[in-house]
Structure 1
Amino acid sequence: MSFRVWILFLLQLVNISLADHYKGGTLSWKPTNPYSLTSPVEIIITERHSWTFTRYSCDNNIINTLGVYNDTQNATTATIICISSTATCTSSLFQNISSRLYCTDFTTGLQISTGTYYTKQYLAINSIIDVASRGAAWARETLTNEWSLVTHIDVTPISGKINTSPVTASLPIFQLYNNETSVIQILIADWDYDQVVRCRWSYQYSLDECGSTCFDLPNAQLNSVDCAITWTPVLRSADIANGLTQSTYVVAITVEDFVNASSTTPLSSVPHQILVYVSYRPTNTCTTRPNITGFPRRNLACYYARPGTFYSFTFQGRIYCLNDSIVEFISTSPFRVQKGNIFQQSNYTWAVSVSWTPLNNQTGLQPFCIAAVDNKGQTSNQYCVMLAVNGSNPSLTLPTFVQSTASPVGTVMPTQMRFSIQATTSLRRTIRSGTYIDIYQLNNNALFRRLDCKYSPDVYFINSTIVFFIHNPSWSLGVTYFITMTDGVATSDQYCGVEAAGFSNNRYWRFTIWNSAMSSTTTPSTTTSTATTHTVTTRFLGTTTYNTLYTTTGIPAYTTSTTTSTTSTTATTATTTTTTSSTKTTIIHTKIFSCNTLISTSKIK
């Protein structure tokens, strides 16, 4: 038997023993200390793989106890190998990885379980290599075979530090209906927040980034910036020909980071491969998908988590039709997340508890995604966040009564256009939608003006200050306004863009438009027909020196008011009337509005 025939025979054996079980995954890497430039450089490679549930069985006990999680039909584990030239792989000092995974998530209804593993490697500084995890075992329903995950690693120092690859996240499978246009959102983030991250379809040529699953979604559109796939699902013609009423596709994308927006040479690349299940909408399904709530922060954002701190949440899945119920939650979780069992909270709501204590060696970006699944197999939209373990926690400093870190407050001129507020860290423009600065009238809570912080050219981020302008405001004289900000208006210029909490209380940031008709000096009329002179009391506006530390113009809120009176006598008496003056000083109070990001009294599965 020739050598070539023998190799083909062995590959057939591998295909038979490992067939029909792979369902997607991702690879990423990071230096343990990006500023340590001594060779070799210690990095951590994170792998995450999803499998057919019957092949890789998992339950909450296995997850919570870090129990055995292996292929029930074959002891072979997924491996990661260097695929660059032999000389390059050897000089890089990379060692092949072959380790069992730890189960983190599972769903019996969608027949998927997911496991992860972290491995340390010690690479020679300046090494540039490509590593891959490959096999020939895609789940049978995908009508594909070979799978390939490839990540590009470059440990050449840039500006005194080692780069960190992007991190990706989503549910392992999306459930869609035929002919209903949908958006598949992939969460992407980079610890090196000063770099640009983009998505693209994976390619088979050159490095073979996706095996036999490249460009599997027909006519799908990928937004390279938001990493969102827009697609109108259809069934495969092959599945229709075989009498099937459902199809399962593979999404294979690659996420890369660049030194700037004009660069075309990636610093690193990471794969992200998932499944999309398409079927006809059953006649008995609710027209409204289930909904999921429970996370203290908004979808797709980045939040701070402190190592050694216990976090607990309760996620609720809600249904909107009678006789429906939530039967399970599907998730993508960090290592060592503890999960409880699903329980019913009300006639329309089911819940699951989740808790997590991040470890020091989990410093970096840790994604978490979750969705609810009803008894008809219909899933809610996914809810994903990126957790920056051991990052810094930004906050806004808000005045209670008068201007200090926010300006202006108090009484301002009708021409006021410039506003500003301070944060505790350097900021940058958010990349997330749904971040707004709103101005309301206090007397009726009517929205006066809204600024979209992702797009508006009237919002600026200067170091740790947010500055925004209201052009041609047409303020109402004498009316008090208040300002609110949503989560994420203040986004840290580091890590994955950790978001500060917003504020919606109408007491935090108020200002009143000066009305000259209400504030001018009034002198009662006098007559000359009598010899009597009257005592006239006047109140005038005090003056104060403009504080150059303020970031806006207008009438300062810190004022001195003085009351005086004239002394007069009448023609018939010698009585003298004397009044005293009084001074009123407004005191500045400030309140630190902190984003204590993930602490919650709730609990999760």
Structure 2
Amino acid sequence: MEIQWTPESDQYGIHELYLTPVDSQQQTGSQVCLTFQVDVDPPQFIRMHPTGIVPDNQSTWAIDIDRDIVSPRRLTGVNIHFFKRSNNEEVYRVDVTSSAFVRYEPRRITFYTSGYTWNKGEEYYILLDSGVATINESCGIESAPVTDKNIWTFQISKQTTIFSSTTTSKAYPITTEGKTTTTARKTVESTTTSTQIISKITTTTTQTITSRVSSIPACYQWFPFNTIVNLSTNAEHPTFTFCFTVNTTFADVTIAANTWVSCSNWKSSGAGDPLIELYSENNRQLLAENDDGNSISSMNCYASVLSYRFSRGDYRVVIRNSKCAYGFFELRLLAEVPFRQKDNST
């Protein structure tokens, strides 16, 4: 018996054909089912995050998909691979068939690299095997592999330890090679990095010094203006911190944590509810905070936007999720320099 079917242009989707054999004695056999998939596309990855600069202990990663999915039908051979850009060496692999490292939701895959530390200053890229996602329909068409080294990349910034010290000294004589003797009284406030500078001037000093040295957590990532990067927070990493520099007399800076989802879809989207805090990096004074940014209320629910006029100096931004509503968001750091002053911070 031959069966032929040519679908019409509007008959796309999944179709099933059930066959039951009947012999001349009207006895029936076992029913079989055939499934035909007409113009059914595989699931598409619409967003992979985080990207850009991430901390060296980043351990939570997520992929957003354009349709409902399920975990792989295959039991083995479906992996997500992490490679070093410098030598194309595979440094980490996640088996997505193991529920211990992966969580599947209707339109999101979240996976973890807990316990692994990425090398500072190194750039990485992520590749995916075919079948990481399978559509939740009938036979379940698998996602295509991701083999392009430039689609999902991230970088670990170089960390510098900074110490702040305050030293008060009494009057003391200073003798130099020029045989000039002076008496000085001064208070020195300095920032010392790991770079050591040795002077060639021979100096003999008699002094009484009392000092207080306290360690300040280094700002391990500094962003230039016009930065746009996708980020994500979670219970393990509930905040995101970065710093920036204003090298002009004044600059009007806008810091935005956008969600780009509507309020009706926010709960199921996986987007966060970010709160932006702005500090002076020099004295750690809180300058401003904001968790309201519904500039486009129907498309940017629970976003946060902070605009501020800065004078020359260094500044720190901390993005929190005060209501424990962790999730993804898009960070934008933009600046306009008044009076046509050129910004050299980038």
TM-score bracket, normalised by the shorter chain, equals 0.3 to 0.5
Structure number with higher strand proportion = 2
Which has more radius of gyration? 1
User: TM-score, normalising length from structure 2?
Assistant: 0.44
Structure number with higher helix proportion = 1
User: TM-score, normalising length from structure 1?
Assistant: 0.27
| Larger RCO (CA within 8 A; separation ≥ 6) | 2
